[in-house]
A and B are shown apart, each in its own frame.
Chain A
Amino acid sequence: MIEGILIGLETAFSLKNLMMVMIGCFSGTIIGMLPGLGPMTAIALMIPITYGFEPSTGLILMAGVYYGAVFGGSTSSILINAPGIPGTVATSFDGYPMAQQGKAGKALAIAAYSSFAGGTIAAIFLLIAAPSLSKVSLAFRSPDYFGLMILGLTAVSAFSAKGHFLKAMMMVVLGLMLASVGQDTLSDIPRFTFQNMNLSDGISFVLVVMATFAMSEALTIIFKANDPTRVAKQISLSQLGSIKLDKIETKKMVTTIPRSSVLGFIIGVLPGAGSTIASFLAYGMERNFVNDEEKQKFGKGSVNGLAAPETANNAACSGSFVPLLTLGIPGSGTTAVMLGALLGFGIQPGPRLYQTNPEIFWSVIMSMYIGMVILLILNLPLIPYIARVLATPRTFLIPLILFFSVTGIYLMSFNNFDIYLMIGIAVLATILRLYDFPMPPLILAFVLGGLMEENLRRSLLISDGSWSFLWDRPLTIVIMTVIVLIVLWQCIKSFKTKIG
């Protein structure tokens, strides 16, 4: 292993590869900041460029783009409440309210430090435990994955909906319904397409996230422009805050980062789970760990509420490389794109990658850490400049958000239908938001819809149509018990509120 690490260091520290990490991180941050262009798009754009390089250099460039885009996504989540990727949706819960309170600089600094710490801790985990951790993910079966996804959706509905649990559950169902549009993955049978060819491939994630977050947020700002409470929020948007953190804030982060890193990394290792579930679960977990006073601040600009998902999503990014590098199974959509690039280089990732291409395996792990350092050095000094986006008057900012949203979806499909569908979903989301129907559960359900159906299909086929798979395995029982406890807790809470 030591020999492998040394080979990795030598490869990663070559001038060319250092340049690639820097270019990757910088371009990833810029692309990730643009609503609609997430890491998958950024990496996909890089694939043709990487074919001119050696495999290790190409992979290092893509890893840099990945981390940069995740950080860039957090930036747009915090500044304009437009998460470019599902993994940064939870960041907006507390990051955006913080920006509205005039602490945009501080929120971005917390995001940068948390990303760095989460990524660094996870890179160390990856270095030490990559071979053995792959065995943990192998222990999970389809019923466990199905249970884990229900747990994620229930947790998000319980924790992010601010007391509107039933409304959040309706949004979960709506998200799953939207995800079911298009051809069935196994049989190719069209569902809910109403003989419209534009719907046969389903509704794109970017379309739904742009409509429910960026576009609907922009419309809500205009819709509530005359609301006295809203006007106050808009004034604070133009104030740029300091990036310096005080002792209390640092102390809060110090306690949050280690537990969120561990959780993020473990979730990241599980194929399919990825940074989205990690960030949502970390957010929920953190809310349970903090005291009652801090708990009240969640959703209103809590330091813990921002640091937890930011740490976890970066840790999960590192974790998602474990199944990719050791099993050849992508842990997320982004690593799936990277797998495609690796196969293009003629490299088959898997347990034998250590022996056949040690320089690739270890240099990628080393580059992750270097990428983290570069990201911190690059992004922290730029934070005051990035935060100036907030100083843009609302009369310019709103049309520009709408323009980026429409462009983002137009670049993906080049047809009018998707633009109309996005406008329709945005109008619906604006009305729903007005009456406190939360959007994050809808987004998470939409992302997980396909995977949930796939795992339910496998589970039901294995158990011959019986739902006994939910209590057949100890791991599934544990997950299901947690779900039941969350639902019971919500029922008791609602009952107490009504009585009180």
Chain B
Amino acid sequence: MKISPSKIISLLFFIFSGFYLYTAHQIQVFTFDENAAFNAKTFPIYLGYAGLIFSALYVLLPETRPSNVDLTVLDYKKTITLVILMILYGLTILRVGYFLSTSIFLVLSYIVLGERKWLWIFLLSFPFVAIFMYLLHGLLNIYLRDPFLQYIGIMG
């Protein structure tokens, strides 16, 4: 028997709803609130049941409009590389600083997506981020932590 990807996702959502419901029951409420008509876990418990019902209905009922996706045409390589770049960007933004990490993230992303116009790659990374930072930091007074710029003495 072949099961459609949408049904697999719904089945996973069913399991997730079950876990959510279990966690909702574990929420510690105050003793005096335990038997109240409504406490901190009432709404999550209803949500857990709603998730179980809707996902079970989708799994059990026949699909009226199945989603057809051709998995062979999807570009996994570029997408996964971009996600990894974003994770690395998130990892370095506090340690290296906003300016350098953002600029490098932009340069690498342009290259990964196949861009080879080097002048534009440069203009839309380092100078672009510098102007953006000036707008945020200089004009709108939004503090941006940047150890790199502090180290080279540009930022106080």
Contact B102 A166 (CB under 8 A): no
Contact A180 B43 (CB under 8 A): yes
Cα separation A256 to B17 with both chains bound (whole Å):
40
Contact B93 A410 (CB under 8 A): yes
Cα separation A419 to B94 with both chains bound (whole Å):
11
Contact B38 A461 (CB under 8 A): yes
A379-401 interface bits toward B, Cβ cutoff 8 Å, 1 = contact, 0 = none = 00000000000000111101110
Residues of B within 8 A of A419 (CB): 86, 89-90, 93
A465 with B38, Cβ < 8 A, contacts A189-B27, A219-B83, A396-B120 known? yes
Check A201 for interface membership: any CB of B closer than 8 A: no
Contact A396 B124 (CB under 8 A): yes
Residues of B within 8 A of A191 (CB): 24, 27, 40-41, 44
Contact B91 A192 (CB under 8 A): no
Residues of A within 8 A of B54 (CB): 166, 169-170, 173
A349 to chain B, nearest CB (A): 28
Contact B78 A222 (CB under 8 A): yes
B9 to chain A, nearest CB (A): 6
The count of residues in chain A whose C-beta lies closer than 8 Å to any C-beta of chain B is 65
Partner of A223, one of B28, B47, B75: B75
Q: Among the interface residues A166, A227, A463, which one has the most CB atoms of the partner chain B within 10 A?
A: A166
Check A406 for interface membership: any CB of B closer than 8 A: yes
Contact B27 A227 (CB under 8 A): no
Partner of A437, one of B9, B24, B36, B78: B9
Cα separation A177 to B47 with both chains bound (whole Å):
7
Cα separation A186 to B37 with both chains bound (whole Å):
14
Partner of A406, one of B67, B86, B145: B86
Check B57 for interface membership: any CB of A closer than 8 A: yes
Cα separation A453 to B94 with both chains bound (whole Å):
36
Cα separation A414 to B57 with both chains bound (whole Å):
41
Residues of B within 8 A of A176 (CB): 47, 50
Contact B102 A399 (CB under 8 A): no
CB proximity to A under 8 Å, residues B51-69: 51, 54-55, 57-58, 61-62, 64-65, 67, 69
Residues of B within 8 A of A461 (CB): 36-38
Number of A-B contacts (CB under 8 A): 171
Check B73 for interface membership: any CB of A closer than 8 A: yes
Check A167 for interface membership: any CB of B closer than 8 A: yes
Cα separation A266 to B30 with both chains bound (whole Å):
40
Closest to A434 in B: B69
Partner of B113, one of A394, A434, A436: A394
Contact B82 A420 (CB under 8 A): no
Contact B87 A173 (CB under 8 A): no
Closest to A183 in B: B40
Partner of B57, one of A166, A219, A415, A463: A166
Given A167-B6, A406-B90, 17 extra CB contacts under 8 A: A45-B140, A170-B58, A173-B50, A187-B29, A189-B28, A222-B75, A223-B76, A395-B114, A398-B82, A399-B106, A411-B142, A419-B93, A423-B87, A427-B83, A434-B67, A452-B43, A498-B62
- B residues with a Cβ closer than 8 A to A are 5-6, 9-10, 13, 17, 20, 23-24, 27-30, 33, 36-44, 47, 50-51, 54-55, 57-58, 61-62, 64-65, 67, 69-70, 73-76, 78-79, 82-83, 86-87, 89-91, 93-94, 98, 102, 105-106, 109-110, 113-115, 120, 124, 132, 136, 140, 142, 144-145
Can you identify 16 A-B contacts, CB atoms within 8 angstroms?
A174-B51, A187-B30, A191-B44, A222-B75, A227-B74, A398-B109, A403-B105, A414-B145, A423-B86, A432-B9, A435-B5, A436-B6, A453-B43, A460-B37, A465-B37, A498-B64
